[in-house]
Structure 1
Amino acid sequence: MNLKDDVAIITGAASGIGQAIAVQLSQQGVHTVLVDINSCEETISMLAHESYLECLGDIRDEKFVQATVNRTIGKYGEVHILVNNAGTASRKDLETMTLEDWDRDLNTNLKAAFLFTQACVYPHMKDAGYGRIINISSVSGLNGGVTSGDEGKGRSGPAYAASKGGVIALTKWVAKELGPYGITCNSVAPGATATAITAGVPYDTSQQVIKRMGHPHDIAGAVLYFASRDSSYTTAQVLKVDGGISIG
Structure 2
Amino acid sequence: MKMQNEVAIVTGAASGIGQAVAVQLASEGARVVLVDLNSCEKTIGMLGDAEYLECLGDIRDPEFVKAVINRTIEKYGEIHILVNNAGTASRLDLEDMTLEMWDRDMDTNLKAAFLFTQAVIYPHMKEAGYGRIINISSVSGLNGGVVSGGDEKNGRSGPAYAASKGGIIALTKWVAKEVGKYGITCNSVAPGATATAITAGVPYDTSQQVIDRMGEPNDIANAVMYFASKDASYTTSQVLKVDGGISIG
Distance 1:92 1:152, change over 3 A: closer
Aligned to 1:167: 168
Aligned to 1:219: 220
CA distance in 1, matches of 2:4, 2:224: 15
CA distance in 1, matches of 2:2, 2:43: 23
* Structure 1 unmatched runs, 5+: none
Corresponding residue SS for 1:178: helix
Aligned to 1:181: 182
Q: How many residues align?
A: 248
Q: How big is the shift at 1:142?
A: 0.1
Is residue 147–residue 153 contact of structure 1 (8 Å, CA) maintained in 2? Answer: no
Q: How big is the shift at 1:77?
A: 0.4
Q: Would you say 1:61 and 2:49 are equivalent positions? A: no
Corresponding residue SS for 1:218: helix
Q: How big is the shift at 1:197?
A: 0.3
Q: How big is the shift at 1:153?
A: 4.3
Aligned to 2:17: 17
CA distance in 2, matches of 1:205, 1:153: 18
CA distance in 2, matches of 1:154, 1:14: 27
Is residue 30–residue 50 contact of structure 2 (8 Å, CA) maintained in 1? Answer: no
The residue type paired with residue 239 of structure 1 is L
List per-residue Cα deviations over 1:3-62 (Å, max 9, x = no partner): 111100000000000000000000000000000000000000001324000000000000
After TM superposition, the score normalised by the length of structure 2 is 0.98
CA distance in 2, matches of 1:194, 1:243: 13
Q: How big is the shift at 1:2?
A: 2.3
CA distance in 1, matches of 2:95, 2:89: 16
Please list, as runs of the form range in 1=range in 2, the aligned pairs for 1:105-184 lying within 5 A after superposition.
Answer: 105-150=105-150, 151=152, 153-184=154-185
The residue type paired with residue 235 of structure 1 is T
After TM superposition, the score normalised by the length of structure 1 is 0.98
Q: Would you say 1:39 and 2:39 are equivalent positions? A: yes
The residue type paired with residue 27 of structure 2 is Q
Distance 1:127 1:246, change over 3 A: same
The residue type paired with residue 117 of structure 2 is T
What percent of counterpart residues are identical? 80
* Structure 2 unmatched runs, 5+: none
Distance 1:245 1:135, change over 3 A: same
Is residue 7–residue 80 contact of structure 1 (8 Å, CA) maintained in 2? Answer: yes
CA distance in 2, matches of 1:105, 1:12: 14
Is residue 23–residue 48 contact of structure 1 (8 Å, CA) maintained in 2? Answer: no
